[in-house]
Amino acid sequence: LTLEERLASYIIEGTKEGLFVDLDQALKKYQPLEIINGPLMDGMAEVGRLFNNNELIVAEVLQSAEAMKASVSYLEPHMETTESSVKAKIILATVKGDVHDIGKNLVEIILSNNGYKIVNLGIKVPPEQLIEAYKKEKPDAIGLSGLLVKSAQQMVVTAQDLKNAGIDVPILVGGAALSRKFTKNKIGAEYDGLVLYAKDAMNGLDLANQISN
């Protein structure tokens, strides 16, 4: 197997055996984010495909998620950071009912490496908890993540609840079940402030930079 194929296979097999040696190899050739967005995400896409076809069970997907998380943590110290003063404070959360957090945590790493102060509320965060955190932290924006189809609908409800609580800071949303159109027409329609869709973590950084400028 090539290095790239091996990297994808650690995620597919959910194993860390040999992973870090190969990540070191990969760092000689690629930027950390190229490794994540390339071979590691290819592996995750294959896990998703196999899972969808009932060829993997949840316990195996969890192993894959562990391998992905370990890879991202290993690569994190190698990522570029900007030594600027804090640009803005952003609360991040995976919405109520959803446990997927690898994408959200990647967004946290990228934003905090680029001058943002992040308050990560974790997974399955109900609107009430977001509102409470908003009052306590006074963030400049709120970032919501969700991968399930029902999470897209949960974002609409969350936007309504935030609006009813008088909140109108920009909301950044991301996750596989969303689209730009859904974000604009469904989530945006329920909220007074800006609602922006990020297709990936880097796009999330671009949008955060636009909001905070």
Q: Where on the chain is the footprint of ligand B1M (CB under 6 A)?
A: 44-45, 47-48, 51-52, 58, 61-62, 64-65, 92, 97-104, 106-107, 143-145, 147-149, 172, 174-177, 198, 200-201, 204
**Six-digit token string for 23:** 């990540």
Q: How long a stretch of residues is the chain?
A: 213
| Nearest CB to ligand B1M, comparing residues 144 and 159 | 144
Complex with ligand B1M: residue 50 or 83, whichever CB lies closer: 50
Angle, vertex CA 95, rays to CA 150 and CA 91, nearest 5: 150
Do strands 116-120 and 141-145 pair parallel, antiparallel, or not at all (unpaired)?
unpaired
Active-site annotation holds for 78: no
Residue 64 annotated in active site? no
Instruction: Give least dist CB 190 to ligand B1M, A.
Output: 17
Q: Which residues are annotated as a binding site?
A: 97-101, 145, 201
Minimum distance from CB of 146 to ligand B1M (Å)?
A: 7
Q: What are phi and psi of 200, to 5 degrees?
A: -150, 180
187: helix, coil or strand? helix
C-alpha angle with apex 111: 110 to 115, nearest 5 degrees? 120
Catalytic residues: 98, 100, 151
